[in-house]
Structure 1
Amino acid sequence: MRLIIATRGSKLALWQSNHIKSLLEDMGHEVELQIFKTKGDKILDTPLALIGGKGLFTKELEDAMLRGEAHLAVHSLKDVPTQLPQGLMLGAITKREVVNDAFLSEKYESIEDLPPNAVVGTTSLRRRMQLLHYRPDLQIKDLRGNVDTRIKKLKNGEFDAIILAYAGLKRLGFLESVRFVKPIDENLMIPAMGQAALGIECVPEVLEVVETLNDKKSQIETEIEREFVDTLQGGCQVPIGVRAQLLDNGDIITKAVIGMPDGSELLKDKIIGNVENYSDLGKELAQSMIENGAQEILKRAEEIAFAEHKR
């Protein structure tokens, strides 16, 4: 079968698409990549949360599939909104890489080693919230651009440290490019929903081919995470971390955090379930946090994030 993958042109997007391309070619399919520029690639001076969030990296690729110009698109799953356009489906979730965020610095070995008022780069409200809760003295500054652009800014001395997803660094071979690269403990920084997994979005006609690439463990974990965010109705403009972990004994531990962007207020919760009946775990955890005021906190968090940007 001849397949066309719609992709962004960044190094990471191309790595991801070529990775899936080679797997499909091994199965005997003919595959080509078609490059599109998304809104998220064009607007580099504004935090994503304030210009429409995660769909910014998927919409043009989705439009191409709906127009019949491509059959599938390979996304970082954390960039995929919980609701997909009619006519498209999430055909497969690949095996996850290391899920953690990563601390990168040329001068300091860890978050703990950063001096008072150190400048840390991240545009993620989720990372910012958890960093400032742990170290209120830090100065958090926006950091946009592709992975190599962000690392260049660190090396140029614009930041004392930056925070990126460990999975992206590993996939691009950047783990050795900075003096200190260290995964951040999940108890300190809970990752984003779907972090470190690739989501393959496709048209129904190629579902049978795409679903052969699905990893069941990753699918279960990320379904719970996506259901949690969907139930909270926490779009991309709010700081939310959630991580479901399926253990070897069949237990699933899901922990989540929401709060204010400045780290002044944090709400954490967790739920333990089993793989035999995991389907509502994300919803149950979200409901528990809603009862403890989660939606009110998220509403205030969103208002503050927008107000700060307008200043």
Structure 2
Amino acid sequence: MPSQPPANPGQVRIGARGSKLSLAQAGHMQRRIAAALGADPADPAAVEAVAPLTVITTTGDRVQDRRLLEIGGKGLFTKEIEEALIEGRIDCAIHSMKDVPAELPPGLCIAAIPEREDPRDAFLSRGPLTLEDLSQGAKLGTASLRRQAQSLYRRPDLDVQMLRGNVDTRLAKLAAGEADAILLAYAGLRRLGLGDLPKSLIDPKEAPPAPGQGALAIETREADRDLPWVAGLRCETTTLCVTAERGALVALEGSCKTPIGAHAWLEGGSIQLIVEALSPGGSARFRHAGDTEISQLSDPLRSARDLGFSLGQAIKDEAGDTIVL
């Protein structure tokens, strides 16, 4: 379907999910995009005039009683928004990077990755301070196969319960006693002003978070990749780290049926990366770590992607079907 140009050529129409967290993230980027277009980011009317926000409900939002792997995978958080982008009803989409599948629809691209929030997982409970402090057989709530597998690797006695819903819903279920503890992305809690709630944070080198966790993805049509407002949103360090992590995701054919964690950081002139994949029940864990020099390279993004892909491929060769649900 041909693109529909915005009524005002100076506009950038934004699409995002309607959850409280998505709106907080989208609102932050909406103000940055408006500022890049010359509007006052402190003036809500001016922001909405140049960067109007459209809320799009996705299948992942509508279906809350089953794991994503049962209804089609994490792409269900992006599908309807990407359709609006392809059809020209919006000009960019704002996603949590960890919700973006390894492969994008033809004609679309991740045009910008802004500076990342804290990528760690957060441990929340009604008392205990860490996963190790939970009582024998305690109920741990999560909808993430990765968090399930990593937790059972450390505590095989735990009773892991499927717990989906937005942040408020999960916190309410914890308070109601449906779980003794839950795991959430610390970045999301911080963006919602709830950064004081976790009892502790998970070491990302011991239990790597989802590839891209804590980062946002600004998705556009390929033709819009290098527009001036896009370039101003990019964070080079975050982009390199996320590119390395997603390289592993591609190699492992990452989906909601494969528990994959990846954590990259810059150290001196090198990208350091840890990748792990586990059996869904947590009985087996496969880890590889590596680094690559970036300071003298002509294409650091390719080097980052190749590092991630090579570590992911090493795990795939070693683990085979052990890591697939």
Normalising by structure 1, report the TM-score.
0.92
* Structure 1 match to 2:235: 215
* Structure 2 match to 1:4: 13
Q: CA deviation at 1:256?
A: 1.1
2-structure distance, mates of 1:291, 1:142: 30
- Paired residue type of 1:220: L
CA displacement 1:39-84 (0-9 Å, x = unmatched) = 0001101011222111110010000111111000110000001111
Q: CA deviation at 1:181?
A: 2.9
Alignment of 1:1-311 (within 5 A): 1-27=10-36, 28=38, 30-176=50-196, 178=197, 180-207=198-225, 208=227, 209-247=229-267, 249-275=268-294, 276=297, 277-292=303-318, 294-298=319-323, 301-302=324-325
2-structure distance, mates of 1:83, 1:211: 22
User: Contact 1:49/1:238 (CA < 8 Å) preserved in 2?
Assistant: no
2-structure distance, mates of 1:296, 1:136: 21
How much identity, in percent, do the aligned residues show? Answer: 41
2-structure distance, mates of 1:42, 1:161: 25
* Structure 1 match to 2:43: none
Superposition RMSD in Å: 1.4
Secondary structure at 1:213 match in 2: coil
- Paired residue type of 1:113: D
User: Contact 1:50/1:237 (CA < 8 Å) preserved in 2?
Assistant: no
- Paired residue type of 2:26: S
Q: CA deviation at 1:205?
A: 4.6
- Paired residue type of 1:181: K
CA displacement 1:160-186 (0-9 Å, x = unmatched) = 10000000000001123x4x4321112
- Paired residue type of 1:154: L
1-structure distance, mates of 2:69, 2:185: 17
Secondary structure at 1:280 match in 2: helix
User: Contact 1:130/1:188 (CA < 8 Å) preserved in 2?
Assistant: no
- Paired residue type of 1:194: G
1-structure distance, mates of 2:205, 2:309: 21
